[in-house]
Chains A and B, each alone.
Chain A
Amino acid sequence: QKEVEQDPGPLSVPEGAIVSLNCTYSNSAFQYFMWYRQYSRKGPELLMYTYSSGNKEDGRFTAQVDKSSKYISLFIRDSQPSDSATYLCAMSSGTSGTYKYIFGTGTRLKVLA
């Protein structure tokens, strides 16, 4: 079983739709959960950071972490064509002080105008 699994998509939605992106993981030691957005041939850009379980909201973005199910989600409300990108989940146990991230493969999202 892969440490972090993410559906690669592509996912196509109409403008204004609610988008749900998900990752599952196997390592129960993960405590830090991140969502990054990556445009083609660019560096990942941090969207959301969550420590442990719970929800976090920032504008149109909501991140959810369910540690009991080893499942994390990112919701995008009122999606825009500019949201078209690859969305990467990343996780870390934070042990040994390195905060090494394990990334999912990324989900390609296309928002159609």
Chain B
Amino acid sequence: EPEVTQTPSHQVTQMGQEVILRCVPISNHLYFYWYRQILGQKVEFLVSFYNNEISEKSEIFDDQFSVERPDGSNFTLKIRSTKLEDSAMYFCASMRDSYGYTFGSGTRLTVV
């Protein structure tokens, strides 16, 4: 069964450093997403990406965040200057049509 692949599985970074979280969505999918889940809290929407542009972003997705789909297969989330409160599980998801997302297994980001 096709999978969404995320790397790395765990990233530790110093506060103020830039991180790039990487995702390979399912190849024939058209909609791409990033969500995050702070430990013990609910899964929260960050950004959606369709037709090579951001289609919607949340209040969390401020100027420190950016997304790219550089080569038609990868989908990246960049956090420019990490803060302690950015520590969370970050999930990439993709979807072909409206019939439910497929999530990756996540990247656990720890900011120290």
Contact = CB atoms under 8 A, between A and B. Distances in A.
A105 B102 CA distance: 19
B100 A44 contact: no
Interface of B: 4, 6, 31, 33, 35, 41-45, 48, 50, 55-56, 89, 91, 95, 98-106, 108
Interface string A20-50: 0000000000001010100001111110010
A46 B50 contact: no
Given A42-B106, A46-B100, A96 B55 contact: yes
Nearest to B31: A99
B3 to A, nearest CB: 10
A103 B50 contact: no
Nearest to A105: B42
Interface residues of A, number: 25
B80 to A, nearest CB: 23
A98 B103 contact: no
Contacts of A94: 98
A103 B42 contact: yes
